[in-house]
């Protein structure tokens, strides 16, 4: 029963709309399916960082050192605000020639965006620290189970956001997206900026 509960919690965390979803959606709509998929890969890889520092005990340090934790929170908040502002400022970019853009993509750029968006997201950090701190204790050293659960979360991120990028670049939706692209980018950008401001304000 505990395994099922943890699996459901992980699934809900992944599919809940947040900064990762907004970034994948924005990159998919504005730069094509490949951009969205590479962003999803970056997000999935970032989960490995959260697993690593939690298992090594860095999560404990962050959760008990207010100064260090606030530094990380501010870094994540500022990055979200930057991505959001950039999305708003580039909202007028045309969607014409998406296929051409896909060929000329620099995968590392989108992978790095997805990686940073997730690895600097305080909500994701808090999730792993709070959850793993319940799974790991002085009396319980089941690191193998925790590692498997972390890999499960990473796989869910990759599959879910990969599916989002494919869905929103399908031919059925692409024409409709072209019509609302400017407004969608503005909304996504405002959402990212809002998340960054809210998360940053919580540190004050």
Break the chain into its structural domains and give their ranges: 17-201
pLDDT per residue over 52-83, tens digit each? 887 776 566 666 776 776 676 677 678 778 87
Residue 100's pLDDT is what? 41
Residue 38's pLDDT is what? 94
Question: Where does the pLDDT of residue 3 fall: very low under 50, low under 70, confident under 90, or very high at 90 and above?
Answer: low
Residue 80's pLDDT is what? 74
Q: Which residue has the higher pLDDT, 175 or 74?
A: 74
Axis crossing angle, helix 122-135 with helix 33-55, rounded to the nearest 10: 40
Tokens representing residue 112 in the block? 């790095």
What mean pLDDT is reported for the chain? 75
Full-prediction pTM beyond 0.75? no
The answer to whether 118 and 155 have CB atoms below 8 angstroms apart is no
Residue 149's pLDDT is what? 79
CA torsion sign, 49 to 51 to 56 to 57? positive
The closest alpha carbon to 25, from 195, 177, 164, belongs to 164
Which residues are bridge partners to 140 per DSSP?
A: 137
Distance CA 196, CA 62 (A): 19
Is the confidence at residue 190, as pLDDT, over 50? yes
CA-based Rg of the chain, rounded to a whole angstrom?
18
Average pLDDT over residues 94-108: 53
Is the confidence at residue 177, as pLDDT, over 50? yes
Tokens representing residue 71 in the block? 């530094």
Is the confidence at residue 137, as pLDDT, over 60? no
Q: Which residue has the higher pLDDT, 20 or 125?
A: 20
Is the confidence at residue 96, as pLDDT, over 50? no
pLDDT per residue over 14-66, tens digit each? 776 678 888 998 888 888 889 999 999 999 999 888 888 877 765 666 667 76
């Amino acid at each position: 029963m505990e395994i099922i509960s943890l699996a459901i919690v992980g699934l809900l965390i992944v599919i809940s709309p947040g900064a990762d979803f907004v970034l994948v959606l924005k990159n998919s709509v504005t730069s094509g399916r490949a951009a969205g998929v590479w962003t999803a890969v970056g997000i999935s890889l970032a989960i490995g960082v959260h697993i690593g520092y939690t298992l090594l005990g860095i999560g404990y340090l962050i959760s008990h050192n207010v100064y260090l934790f606030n530094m990380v929170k501010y870094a994540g908040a500022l990055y979200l605000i930057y991505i959001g502002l950039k999305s708003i400022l580039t909202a007028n970019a045309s969607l014409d020639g998406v296929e051409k853009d896909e060929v000329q993509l620099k995968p590392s750029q989108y992978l790095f965006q997805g990686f940073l968006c997730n690895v600097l997201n305080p909500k994701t950090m808090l999730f792993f620290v709070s959850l793993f701190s319940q799974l790991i204790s002085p009396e319980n050293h089941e690191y193998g189970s925790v590692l498997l659960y972390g890999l499960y979360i990473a796989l869910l991120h990759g599959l879910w956001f990969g599916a989002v990028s494919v869905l929103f670049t399908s031919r059925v939706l692409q024409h409709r997206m072209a019509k609302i692209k400017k407004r969608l980018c503005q909304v996504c950008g405002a959402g990212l900026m809002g998340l960054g401001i809210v998360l940053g304000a919580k540190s004050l």
